[in-house]
Amino acid sequence: MARRDDNRGGNRNNREEERDSEIVEKLVHINRVAATVKGGRRFSFAALMVVGDQKGRVGFGHGKAREVPEAIRKATEEAKKTMIRVPLRESRTLHHDGNGRWGAGKVMVRSAPPGTGVIAGGPMRAVLETLGVQDVVGKSVGSSNPYNMVRATFEALKAQSSPRQVAAKRGKKVSDVIGRRADGASTPAADVEG
């Protein structure tokens, strides 16, 4: 009986290790911060990390500690807990354009044709690369604060929806939704003829 329980726990740990081995971690920003105490200043480090599996899941986290490696570890753990899934078109780009805003950070993301690459800078680039997007154009038009830029990018990505999700909401078939997107806005007269 006890052996079976050990085996189950081992399988769970193996699955977690496999999942963690697929995850890509990127350090976006590290900052030295100080707390003023009675004896003077106490310095510590704040880290902003982005993690993703490059297959449509991405998360970010913030950690603070007296040493840099500990701050990075805390941020990574938080990022893994807060991962979101973003639907990708052809596993390489976004389904549609999107805007995100967090505080004074404003970003725009656009889907792009094959061969474009990731055209984005700084924190946005880290998020999009760990997400697994290969062709996308991103632009930050607000604050350059990395925390706000990352959160604004996540707001833009959360608004992404796939044709399957749109069809389910409307109660239609996926082919109806994609057909309309491919040939532009169809008029009611064209629907009657066809």
**Residue range 31-81, pLDDT digits in tens:** 999 999 999 999 999 999 999 998 989 999 999 999 999 999 999 999 999
Angle between helices 146-158 and 122-131 (to 10 degrees): 40
What b/e sequence results for 141-165 when a residue is b if at least 16 CB atoms lie within 10 Å of its CB, and e otherwise?
Answer: ebeebbbbbbbbbbbbbeebebbee
Comparing CA positions, the residue from 103, 95, 99 lying closest to residue 124 is 99
C-beta neighbour count of 107 within 10 angstroms: 28
> How are strands ordered across the β-sheet holding 136-140?
98-102, 105-111, 136-140, 118-119
- pLDDT tens digits for range 119-175: 998 899 999 999 999 999 999 998 899 999 999 999 999 998 888 888 888 888 888
pTM of the model: 0.79
